[in-house]
Amino acid sequence: MSPFLADTVCAIFNSSLRQGHVPKIWKQANDIPVPKIHPPKLVENDLRPIFLSATLSKILELFVGGWILEAVGHQLDNN
């Protein structure tokens, strides 16, 4: 990430965590139909939905997921 954006993104992440609120736009995703076979014949069977979410949302999710795993990972069964 660009050093010019790092401070701003860090402030947004910290504010989101402090308030316990994720920006509404980060919860939205674009639904892209991807064909299973070419060319697709039936919409119901030959297309699968792929949901593209906001990059900043994914990055914050990675941070929070890592922290949670650090905190409770030792209590989880390896299986």
The closest alpha carbon to 25, from 67, 53, 65, belongs to 53
d(CA 65, CA 24): 19
Is residue 79's pLDDT more than 90? no
Q: How confident is the model over 26-65, as pLDDT tens digits? A: 989 899 999 998 888 888 889 999 988 899 999 999 999 9
Give the pLDDT of residue 70: 93
Q: How confident is the model over 65-75, as pLDDT tens digits? A: 999 999 998 89
Give the pLDDT of residue 41: 87
Give the pLDDT of residue 1: 54
What are the angstrom distances between the C-alpha of 29 and each of 1, 11, 32?
Answer: 22, 23, 9
Q: Delimit the domains of the chain by residue range.
A: 3-74
d(CA 34, CA 48): 5
Give the pLDDT of residue 43: 80
